[in-house]
Structure 1
């Protein structure tokens, strides 16, 4: 059962990670507020001669180092997430035009949020391990015993605050992302979950 479904799982992982970066790029080009971790990467990019994607990779590596004291386990999906999302975001940023009228920028943001949510469902459904940032969240949850929503909110408030102080774009899109990404990801996770045996798989984002 696992062997027959492995090609689909690998395809979902790789396509999902590529589309995740493209979704990030669309939301950034919307210019109405980025997702929390992207606000941080934007802010850092204003102060160092590195692309958004390279900063995203370096941030992911730092987050993975924080896994060590939390005793979180890496998966191949975890490592590929850290390495592939940033370059795909850079590709998207090169292809998607900037400085568009508001109605089009809102459209970019909506497209980005939908693409990112579908991409999350694809790569989580492949069951190759959590992404760096969600692994940090679940690791802190296990170590502290605090509810997931408190841990996630705390992390993202800190990340947004640091990113905003560095010049990252915080706006209505940041709030919309916080409110909508959870339900959208849940829908797409159910849609794309690969079943192994009698149970659907899914292992964090």
Structure 2
């Protein structure tokens, strides 16, 4: 795949990913574990959702050091772009309060997230900070990818919930459906190498 095409897919994928997060937040029925933590930290610090996302990414990247993970171009692009795009989406999207609008908004966000993940992973520029942490635990400590992912997400979900982040049916839906959905979208956009970097139905390089 030509480099310019990969860069375009990376850019579109990252923008779509940040906007998808905003859609799911505005649905108001629960968000993914890392976003629960972001909401909780934002609530207690007064910082915007996007800024907390960026700062959390920096902290997670520090955890790469003892795991000897090396950031790639996609890692840096992810760190710099997801937060601002999420803030933009939260600025232009209305908060939903009617059940059918909440469901449609969340479903749209989840589907967009799956497409965005396929584009971003398929560009093959490296994992985002959070999945890089998971991969580092897998490679350096020998943890299975699924075990590492579960341990990390349960930890951040619990911390986010204690801080007041929103846990709900959307949290469960994202956990159950994002893997199978990305398993569908990834082959549509990915180079062979990126497809090989998946384990079962769970991609190991989702954007955030």
Counterpart position of 1:94 = 91
- Alpha-carbon spacing, 1:131–1:66, altered in 2? closer, same or farther (3 Å): same
Q: Detail structure 1 runs of 4+ shifted over 3 Å in the superposition.
A: 199-203
Residue 100 of structure 1 deviates from its aligned partner by: 2.8
CA deviations over 1:26-64 (Å, ceiling 9, x no partner): 111111110000000000011112110000000001001
Counterpart position of 1:64 = 61
TM value normalised by structure 2: 0.92
Query: How many aligned positions are there?
Result: 198
CA deviations over 1:152-193 (Å, ceiling 9, x no partner): 111000000000000000011101111000011111111111
User: Are 2:136 and 1:143 equivalent residues in the alignment?
Assistant: no
Counterpart position of 1:36 = 33
Measure, in 2, the Cα distance between the counterparts of 1:22 and 1:34: 13
User: Equivalences for 1:114-125 in 2 at 5 Å?
Assistant: 114-125=111-122
Counterpart position of 2:44 = 47
User: Are 2:19 and 1:17 equivalent residues in the alignment?
Assistant: no
Counterpart position of 2:105 = 108
Counterpart position of 1:182 = 179
Measure, in 2, the Cα distance between the counterparts of 1:18 and 1:99: 22
- For the aligned residues, what is the CA RMSD? 1.2
SS of the residue 2:51 aligns to = helix
TM value normalised by structure 1: 0.93
Residue 126 of structure 1 deviates from its aligned partner by: 0.7
Measure, in 2, the Cα distance between the counterparts of 1:18 and 1:46: 24
Structure 2: 5+ residue stretches without partners: 198-204
